[in-house]
Amino acid sequence: MIRHSAKKSLGQNFLVDDNVVRKILHHFSPRTDEFVVEIGPGQGALTKYLADMGVETLAVELDSELVADLQQEFDESSSVQVREQDILNVNIAAIAAGTPKPVRVLGNIPYNITSPLLFHLVEYRQDIHDAFIMMQKDVADRIAAEPGNKSYGILSVLIQTYAKVEYEFTVSRNVFRPRPNVASGVVSLRWYEKWSQHIPDFDLYRVVVRTAFGKRRKTLRNALDYLPFSQFDVDSLEFDTSQRAEELSIREFIKLTREIAEAYPKYENELVDSEL
């Protein structure tokens, strides 16, 4: 097994419990007629099983020292290819174009890149069959939360707009070295287009969602006053603005965005300069 000290600067916490590894792979259920992109293989806890199963895998690792160890462990005779790269810079469309197999994503991701990574996967959703990701539990809770739940927020809405999210199971902090301060949660993302096709403009949708939750204790009537438009009259909307953001479903957020887009088309250019 690869032995390598974790780097705090990279948010590394290595999975060291084989029982948890097997549980992850049981739920993920990889097959040889699929192509797996593994994010942050670390010491190869999951990778070695993928190699033993003969699953074609691209293991993307940022740590150059770990990459050297992994490349030595998984040579040309293995089904695993190791690439030194930041996953946020990986062109998944190019990977998908290079294989006839469906591309699946698997990984244990550090907290500091969770949101950027999720939106990176959303960007390439046309090229990814599904994703199975372990992350800090509170973030996993937020992604999977439903309206009315205290964890329901910006990340919940923006990810669930593009994917069916399932919270699979919780992973104890005791199965990592070094041991993190909190537990982890595993979520699966299965992409769909049932909502996104109805969004008139994603930039506007994102701004509406972020603004609504930016003042989550306020009703929409008060929260939407903070939309980054030079002129905006909340009272001109037919939408029920007596509700709070945490009460709105994906469908309702899209309806609200469509109404704003239809009533205020002249504000489209103002979104370019918005810090939201």
Neighbours of 122 (CB within 10 A): 19
**What are the CA-CA distances from residue 102 to residues 25, 94, 126, 131 (Å)?**
17, 13, 11, 12
Paired tokens of 121: 């996967």
**Of 162, 192, 222, which residue sits at a domain end?**
192
Residue 183 domain-assigned (yes or no): yes
pLDDT in tens, 54-93: 999 999 999 999 999 999 999 989 999 999 999 999 999 9
Q: How many DSSP H helices and E strands does the chain contain?
A: 10, 9
Residue 129 domain-assigned (yes or no): yes
pLDDT in tens, 219-249: 999 999 988 877 778 888 999 999 999 999 9
Indicate if 213 and 185 belong to the same structural domain: no
Residue 2 domain-assigned (yes or no): no
Indicate if 22 and 145 belong to the same structural domain: yes
Indicate if 123 and 254 belong to the same structural domain: no
pLDDT in tens, 38-56: 999 999 999 999 999 999 9
Indicate if 97 and 207 belong to the same structural domain: no
- Domains identified in the chain, total number: 2
Residue 136 domain-assigned (yes or no): yes
The pTM (predicted TM-score) of the whole model is 0.89
Host domain of residue 113:
8-192
- Tell me, what CATH number does 231's domain have? 1.10.8.100
d(CA 265, CA 239): 17
Closest CA to 114 of 87, 94, 92: 87
